[in-house]
Amino acid sequence: MADTLVIVESPAKAKTIAKYLGSKYTVKASMGHVRDLPKSQMGVDVNNKYEPKYITIRGKGDVLKSLKDTAKKVKKIYLAADPDREGEAIAWHLAQYLGLDTSEPIRVVFNEITKEAVREAFKHPRKINMDLVNAQQARRILDRLVGYNISPLLWKKVRKGLSAGRVQSVTVKMIIDRENEIKQFVPQEYWTITSQLLADGQRLEARFHGFGDEKTEIGSKEEVDRILQQIEGHPFNVKKVTKRERRRNPAPPFITSSLQQEAARKLNFRTAKTMMIAQQLYEGIDLGKDGTVGLITYMRTDSTRVSTSAQAEAKTYIEQEYGEAYALREARTHGKSETAQDAHEAIRPTSVLRTPEAVKPYLSRDQLRLYRLIWERFVASQMAAAVLDTMSVDIEVNGVIFRATGSKVKFPGFMKVYVEGSDDGGKEENTILPPLEEGQTLQLEKIVPNQHFTQPPPRYTEARLVKTLEENGIGRPSTYAPTLETIQKRGYVAMVERRFVPTELGEIVISLIQEFFPEILDVEFTSQMEANLDKIEEGMADWVKILDAFYEDFAPRVAAAEEQMEEVEIKDEVSDEVCDSCGRQMVYKLGRFGKFLACSGFPACRNTKPIVKSTGVTCPSCKRGEIIERKSKKSRLFYGCSNYPECEFLSWDKPIPRTCPKCDSMLVEKKRKKQGVQVVCTQCDYQEEADS
């Protein structure tokens, strides 16, 4: 019989750790948190130093009983929940329930789940860190004070079932503010002039730069005409050639927010999906003969710090795989943000020797894609800088300057392994200019003026929103994914083409909160509150005093809102559709995945329908139905026949309302990585560029 009990959060983690510790240890899972504030009441005594009333979470009674029964049979108990505030709180709650002495070293933490790391951690157990516990407790109570005071107001004044959250509300306001920016945006006209030139038979392009050294913007067709008139008939002479060598450093290894952003850009993963798969990679994957191993370090972190042992292993691997020139002579350090806690290392593979190809047979497709991203990013972060030769050429035409720029990779360095993506989808271009000398005259082939208009700021994608939250110090690594999920579940925002759009309900709720609780929506206030929670964690602030400072101002606002907040009626938009079940008119509703149709007779009639978007294309299979947009269970867009299930035609590519000029078959828009969107025939080899 084992004489030591180890308690972790998840069965997967328990299974991995049990293999490392051997038969003297019993490893069990608490299945996450075991105690929390009650859902039916506030559960916080504001008159008694915010004393929380914790109860056993529904469904956890059997888990706790099993843990208590096992605890009676062992001599020693260790609590090995995750190494963060939530993990520390879970350990503390378990200690309270099992009657453990918290002044004893019963807490074990490790940043990665490998045999070496786990065994080393058990050699150095520590006491439960009450500063960490109090920081988690303060956040939980703070969120409860906000939610359980504002939510009942929203139920009375707007609609039952609504709720307000501290971090969620400021996030929704950011999405609304961006939408208002877009609506108020006034496009500004501007022009570019591109000259297509020949230098000894080799082509290059140069853009209008200005007059002399100063860059000049062109704002109208009249200005374009004046410039074209000034250069007409004059030679294009090379005035200045500037050559430079530029060094480019790699991106740092991942932290939680940058992993979420890059997985969205490169893998098209939602934030919640990224964290779910990262958790699996952290907790352990069965690698056959090698047993179960945690493949990555802890995935909730805001630090880019890397251990010296990991740096050394990476250096050896890089030297052997790519050569000494690609390895760093001295370890590279990355700057950290002011809000970073630096409690854990960056997200990295637990061993660079476990290459993506080596572990490929044991991972699912998505696990492999995310692991490859983490592995490549880390290896690249430990490699030498890339060296680029850049060339800038000023070409003068009767006092007008055109400029051509080019670059070529002289030494790829880290770029051999990985290059960071960008939010705007821009790609690194390697434009090589022909050899040019000052005084050289170039031959003009064509001059192309183009009209443009400035674009409004884009709506937030998940990646861009996470980045903005991080930059403003709102939330922490563990809160990004649940925050984005919650604001969608509550119907305050919807996803349209993978971008956040506020709903009418969201705008109404935020306008009421703005009127009566402006500090809740203030970015600086929310950021300062996060900083205060960090101070509690560091032992530099008293959690009760932090809550007191907030509640003293907040409580009178709640009382004022009870008196002054007026009721708001949200009228449903009536559609032209008639309910199939009862004949009433159907209305538009907004759910988690966007708009849908619902019967106006709800709750007597609960009939709902998806909103059908037609492509205007007749089904090529049955010739009777129309091709309409549909969504798969995983919310992927596809196109099917309106006569489904009688006709099972479907296409992942969007049909367009005209037929192939060669064979009269259906044309579709096909997205290709290099060429972009192209129109192709479904039957023959006809293809054309899609309208941009």
Output the 3-class SS for 300-363: CCCCCCCCHHHHHHHHHHHHHHHCHHHECCCCCCCCCCCCCCCCCCCECECCCCCCHHHHHHHC
Residue 635 has pLDDT above 80, yes or no: no
Residue 462 has pLDDT above 60, yes or no: yes
Number of other residues whose CB lies within 10 A of the CB of residue 212: 12
Distance CA 678, CA 681 (A): 10
Distance CA 465, CA 168 (A): 12
Q: At 309, is the pLDDT very low, low, confident or very high (cuts 50, 70, 90)?
A: very high
Average of per-residue pLDDT across 91-108 = 95
pLDDT of residue 560: 94
Question: Poorest-confidence range of 217-221, 258-262, 454-458, 495-499?
Answer: 495-499
Q: Which helix (H) or strand (E) holds 614?
A: strand 614-618
CATH architecture of 145-184+460-564: Orthogonal Bundle (1.10)
- Take residue 648 and report the two structure tokens written for it: 């099972």
Distance CA 575, CA 557 (A): 40
Residue 39 has pLDDT above 50, yes or no: yes
Mean pLDDT of the chain: 90
pLDDT of residue 271: 92
Residues forming CATH 1.10.460.10 domain(s) in the chain:
145-184+460-564
- Take residue 131 and report the two structure tokens written for it: 């500063």
Strands across the sheet containing 626-631: 614-618, 626-631, 637-641, 650-651
Query: pLDDT digits over 49-99, tens only?
Result: 999 999 999 999 999 999 999 999 999 999 999 999 999 999 999 999 999
Q: What's the chain's length in residues?
A: 692
Sign for the pseudo-dihedral over CA of 42, 45, 49, 55: negative
Residue 426 has pLDDT above 50, yes or no: no
Average of per-residue pLDDT across 204-226 = 94
Full DSSP string of 239-278: EEEEEEEEEEPPPPPB-HHHHHHHHHHHH---HHHHHHHH
Residue 591 has pLDDT above 70, yes or no: no
Distance CA 424, CA 265 (A): 9
- Take residue 83 and report the two structure tokens written for it: 């190494």
> Shortest CA distance to 349 belongs to which of 358, 361, 337, 339?
358
> Shortest CA distance to 382 belongs to which of 339, 423, 414?
414
Terminal C-alpha separation, the chain: 70
Number of other residues whose CB lies within 10 A of the CB of residue 445: 11
Distance CA 201, CA 435 (A): 11
Q: Is 222 exposed, middle or buried (0-12, 13-18, 19+ CB in 10 A)?
A: exposed
Query: pLDDT digits over 321-377, tens only?
Result: 999 999 998 888 766 555 444 457 999 999 999 999 999 999 999 999 999 999 999
Residue with more model confidence, 632 or 267: 267
Distance CA 642, CA 618 (A): 10
Residue 573 has pLDDT above 70, yes or no: yes
Q: Write the CB contacts of 142 (distance below 8 Å, at least 6 apart in sequence).
A: 166, 529, 547, 550
pLDDT of residue 588: 83
Does residue 635 contact residue 497 with C-beta atoms inside 8 Å? Answer: no
> Shortest CA distance to 165 belongs to which of 465, 509, 576?
509
Residue with more model confidence, 682 or 429: 682
pLDDT of residue 168: 93
Single-letter amino acid code for the residue at 181: E
Residue with more model confidence, 125 or 22: 125
pLDDT of residue 427: 47
Residues forming CATH 2.70.20.10 domain(s) in the chain:
189-249+386-453
SS3 29: strand
Query: pLDDT digits over 481-516, tens only?
Result: 999 999 998 889 988 878 999 988 899 999 999 999
pLDDT of residue 164: 87
Average of per-residue pLDDT across 381-389 = 96
CATH number for the segment(s) 256-381: 1.10.290.10
Fold assignment, 189-249+386-453 = Topoisomerase I; domain 3 (2.70.20)
Separation of CA 184 from chain center: 27
- How many CA atoms within 13 Å lie on the side-chain side of 459? 14
Distance CA 501, CA 180 (A): 11
Distance CA 383, CA 570 (A): 57
Q: Write the CB contacts of 280 (distance below 8 Å, at least 6 apart in sequence).
A: 12, 367
Distance CA 65, CA 98 (A): 10
Q: Beta partners for 627?
A: 617, 641
pLDDT of residue 692: 42
SS3 165: coil
**Which residue bears the tokens 């809550």?**
547
Residues forming CATH 1.10.290.10 domain(s) in the chain:
256-381
Separation of CA 413 from chain center: 28
- Active site residue: 298, 418, 480, 492, which one? 298
% of the chain beyond a pLDDT of 90: 72
> Shortest CA distance to 415 belongs to which of 450, 380, 449?
380
Residue 236 has pLDDT above 90, yes or no: yes
CATH architecture of 4-128: 3-Layer(aba) Sandwich (3.40)
298 belongs to the catalytic site: yes
**Which residue bears the tokens 């929670």?**
533
> Shortest CA distance to 71 belongs to which of 107, 94, 98?
98
pLDDT of residue 624: 84
Does residue 1 contact residue 23 with C-beta atoms inside 8 Å? Answer: no
Does residue 45 contact residue 439 with C-beta atoms inside 8 Å? Answer: no
Farthest-apart Cα atoms in the chain, separation: 97
> Shortest CA distance to 470 belongs to which of 343, 344, 340?
340
The whole model's pTM is what? Answer: 0.80
86-105 burial, b for 16+ CB within 10 Å, e for fewer? bbbbbbbbbbebbebebeee
Residues forming CATH 3.40.50.140 domain(s) in the chain:
4-128
- Take residue 287 and report the two structure tokens written for it: 């690698």
Q: Write the CB contacts of 591 (distance below 8 Å, at least 6 apart in sequence).
A: 491
Q: Write the CB contacts of 217 (distance below 8 Å, at least 6 apart in sequence).
A: 190
pLDDT of residue 37: 95
pLDDT of residue 593: 57
Residue 687 has pLDDT above 90, yes or no: no
Does residue 256 contact residue 272 with C-beta atoms inside 8 Å? Answer: no
pLDDT of residue 429: 55
